[in-house]
Structure formats: structure tokens, C-alpha cells
Chains A and B, each alone.
Chain A
């Protein structure tokens, strides 16, 4: 057992656990943040996606002992029902979720993708950016629409800030 410190969604956490535990297990078991899901456990499905210092990574392949003093953002940190992010709103509006298991990972990956983009992304660009996130319910069409809608809203909002 080791005392480990790191920041999740802007709050400093101190957890006592074995250092080779995965970040995903710590989030779910020690911090009760269950948005990030475990599915394949080996970095193929993306349902455990979180932001590590702003970059999207698979939390099932990160050991907690490797992220001391680093900053993690999960889907909970992106927004809650009462203060949803543009991406989350767009997923609701477009109905881009069915069973919902992959959705938090996709929201996180979309957030990282849209942060670095200066245009409304094409379908191909979205497919490349989300290539690591599998959904077994839908045909991805609505997910792709939701991300495009979010991008449009993001630019409208930025425009209004400038005015």
C-alpha cells in the first residue's frame, strides 16, 4: 500500500492503494467515479478513455503509480446533467447513445479532438479521431452527427464571446 496524490477533475485526491493498480480501477473503486468503463482491458475499445494532462489515453493501461501529481479529467469532469458540456448536449439532441456503455469514453475522446480543431470536422476526420472508441449498439452515424453539431455550437459560442 502506498499513499498516492493526483488531481481528478480539478480536485486533489489522495488514495492509498497498491501502485500497480490501474488508473481505471482507482477511479471506479476508490473514488466512486464510474463514468469510465472497463470493457476490453487492453486498449482496444476506448470505453475507459480519460484525459491525462489534456491528452486522451486509455485509463485501463495507466498504472496509478505512474500518474503521481498529474492531472486527470474524466467524463464527470466534462459535465453533469445540470451543467452539460456542448458535446454532451449534442449527444442528447442527436440521440447518439443507446446502451450508453461506450458513451463516456466517446465524450472524452471527442472533447480532446474538438479542443484542437479550428473547423467543423469531416466524417473521415471524426472516424480517425474516434478510431479507438468502439460502440456495438449504433452504426456510429448519430455519434458522428453529434460531434459535428458540437463543433458548430462550439464555434458559435466562441463567436459570441468575441462579440
Chain B
């Protein structure tokens, strides 16, 4: 298929889009911000017979509070998230992750739903969504289901989303007053780069350095994002002293399972995963003490 042969179909509503997906006779693909999809089209990897252009579906671009949860529409851009006072206050780990997604040009076009749907092991928003216990709502023309984010991905670029389904809502658990989060990333350069390793951390604190528990999610060190359960288990060895933080970082070195690729070697990734976690925990402790 040549690029010049690709059609663009722009549905006028979510329902219209689901109807299009349901009669998927030929190969169609959804395009939102296009920051990833267009690159893949140019590389020849994705050549659908038609793009289903959902960028203009305003019904899927929102950030709102509902029944104690925060609902984010899949077409919400990274810029929308960065500027949302609600998310700045109740999901700062996600805001920090979105700030690290490329440069302004990418943040303005790229969407959170696109970042999830692309399912890159290096996707920056995904570790943040893991520690915020996100659930992803998938809709098809005649059904809808909610999948916890840790059950959504099956491998690099692969998800359980069926061809007739689309992401219509992202539900996260807001941070409480005693929960603090941080996102740390190492890329080839500071701006606009793909992650070599990234990590999202969320801690539930009591007083001083007493930690009630926490969540740690690494990106780019396995076929999908992973939770570092062994490291998490050590978080509540109270109090969370500098020594314990250093030990947790050592455990991370063993717990991650990276590969060597064009961006970095497996060994370097292990070292950096450990260093990023250690730095992230130190920074979080400093923030907590100054809060």
C-alpha cells in the first residue's frame, strides 16, 4: 500500500467510530495525534487502507472527577495533563511523566490514549498509570469492558484491545494527602527523546520517614512495563532511611530484566534502573520532608 493510496475517514462521533470499527472488513487503523502513527506510516510499518482520524472527537478529551476517581479522556493531550490543576494536585506523577514526553511539539499533539495504545515498553505515561492503579475502559459497538492497566499489555506494541474496540476512558485513583509520587527518566538527551529507562514511584507516608508502602513501575526494562514487587516489599521496612534506599536500589538491579538494543546495553539499563530508583526515592524523601 502506498501512502498516496491511504484514505482518511473522520468519524463525527464516538458511536460513529465504533460502528466503523465493527465493520472492519479491510484493514483500518486509528490515528489520534499521529506523533507515532505517522512515523510508522513513513517507515512502511503501518500502511492501513484507511486511517480512522479521531483527533477531532471532543467527547473523548476531558479530565474530570467522578465518584472519588479521576477520569481522563483518551484524546487528552500531554499538554492538557501538564496544565490540569486537578492532576497537578492529585496525580503529580502523571504530570511529571507527561512533561518528559518529547518536546512541546509532541506534547501538543500526542495523546494519553495514543501512548497507551502504542504499547511501547518505553512509553512514558504508562509507568505513571501503573502506580496510579489505572483502569482502561474499552468500548465496542455492543459491549464495554474495563481492564486494569497491568492486564492490558501482552508484549511490545501488543495489547488485549480487539480490532473492534477503542479506548474510551482512563480511570485513575487520585493521590491522597499522604501519597507522594515522582517520575524519573533517562533518555539519550534531555529533550524530546525516547526513554532508555524510566521509573514511576508512589509512596504512602505516615510521619517523618515512616512509609506505609508504595508502588514502583519500571519502563524499558522488560517487554512491557513491570512493577518491581521485590523492591516494593522493602519500602515498608521503617523508617525509610538512606541505607534502606540504597539496598532497595540494589534489589532493583536484580529485579529488572532488560535487553540490549540500539539505545543501550542490558547491563547499562540495569545500572541505570538502580540509579534512577535510588535518585527518585532520595528526591521523594526530600520533597516529603519539605512538605
The answer to whether A56 touches B104 (Cβ under 8 A) is yes
Bound-state Cα–Cα, A61 to B106, Å: 9
- Residues of B1-22 whose CB lies within 8 A of A: 3-8, 10
CA distance A18 to B4 in the complex (A): 5
A112 CB contacts on chain B under 8 angstroms: 104
Name the contact of A43 in the complex, choosing from B10, B39, B41, B190 (C-beta under 8 A). B39
Given contact pairs A46-B103, A61-B35, A55 touches B79 in the complex (Cβ within 8 A): yes
Report whether B103 and A19 are in contact in the complex, using a CB–CB cutoff of 8 Å: no
**B230 interface contact, C-beta 8 A:** no
Can you name the residue of chain B whose Cβ is closest to the Cβ of A60? Answer: B38
- Asked if B117 is at the interface (CB within 8 A of a chain A CB), the reply is no
- When C-beta atoms are compared, the residue in chain A nearest to B41 turns out to be A20
Q: Is A78 on the interface with B (CB-CB < 8 A)? A: no
Shortest A52–chain B CB gap in Å is 8
Contact of B109 among A46, A62, A113 (CB under 8 A): A62
Contact at A57–B8, with CB atoms within 8 Å?
Answer: no
Is residue A9 contacting chain B, with contact meaning CB distance below 8 A?
A: no
Q: Is B34 in the interface zone, CB < 8 Å from A?
A: yes
Evaluate contact between A63 and B38: CB separation under 8 angstroms. yes
Q: Given known contacts A18-B5, A62-B34, A65-B53, is B41 in contact with A49 (CB within 8 Å)?
A: no
Contact with B along A101-135 (1 / 0, CB 8 A): 00000000100110000000000000111111100
Which residues from chain B contact A22 at a C-beta distance below 8 Å?
38
Across the interface, which residues of A come within 8 angstroms of B58, CB to CB? none
Q: Is B191 an interface residue when CB atoms closer than 8 A count as contact? A: yes
A88 CB, nearest partner CB in chain B, Å:
20
Mask, A53-89, CB within 8 Å of B = 1, is 0011110111101101000000000000000000000
Chain B residues near A113: list those with CB within 8 A: 104
A42, B42: Cβ atoms under 8 Å?
yes
CB of B108, distance to nearest CB on chain A (Å)? 4
CA of A44 to CA of B102, assembled, Å: 8
Query: In the complex, A129→B105 CA distance in Å?
Result: 9
Interface of B is mostly: mixed
User: What CA separation (Å) do A62 and B34 show in the bound complex?
Assistant: 6
User: B41 touching A58 by the CB < 8 A rule?
Assistant: no
CA–CA, A129 to B82, complex, Å?
14
Enumerate chain B residues within 8 angstroms of A66, measured Cβ to Cβ: 8, 10, 31, 34, 53, 55-56
Beta-carbon contact of B4 and A49 below 8 Å? no
Min CB gap A133→B, angstroms: 8
The reply to whether A63 and B34 form a contact with Cβ atoms under 8 Å apart is yes
Q: What is the minimal beta-carbon distance from B210 to any residue of chain A, in angstroms?
A: 35
Check: B62 CB closer than 8 A to any chain A CB.
Answer: no
Check if A21 is an interface residue, CB within 8 A of chain B.
yes
Question: How far apart sit A55 and B35, CA to CA, in the bound complex (Å)?
Answer: 15
- Distance A133 CA – B38 CA, assembled complex (angstroms): 19
Q: Which of B103-136 contact A (CB under 8 A)?
A: 103-106, 108-109
B51 at the interface (CB under 8 A from A): yes
Q: Which residues of B contact A46 (CB under 8 A)?
A: 103, 105
Q: How far in angstroms is the closest Cβ of chain A from B48?
A: 9
Residues of B with C-beta under 8 A to A41: 42
Q: Which of A19, A43, A68 is B35 in contact with, Cβ under 8 Å?
A: A43
Bound state CA distance, A56 and B55, in angstroms? 16
A-to-B contact residues, CB < 8 Å? 18-22, 41-44, 46, 49, 52, 55-58, 60-63, 65-66, 68, 109, 112-113, 127-133
**Residues of B near any A CB (own CB < 8 A):** 3-8, 10, 31, 34-35, 38-39, 41-42, 51, 53, 55-56, 79, 102-106, 108-109, 190-192
Q: Can you list 18 pairs linking A and B with CB atoms under 8 Å apart?
A: A18-B3, A18-B4, A18-B6, A20-B6, A43-B105, A44-B192, A46-B105, A49-B105, A56-B105, A57-B105, A60-B38, A61-B39, A63-B34, A63-B53, A66-B34, A109-B105, A132-B105, A132-B192
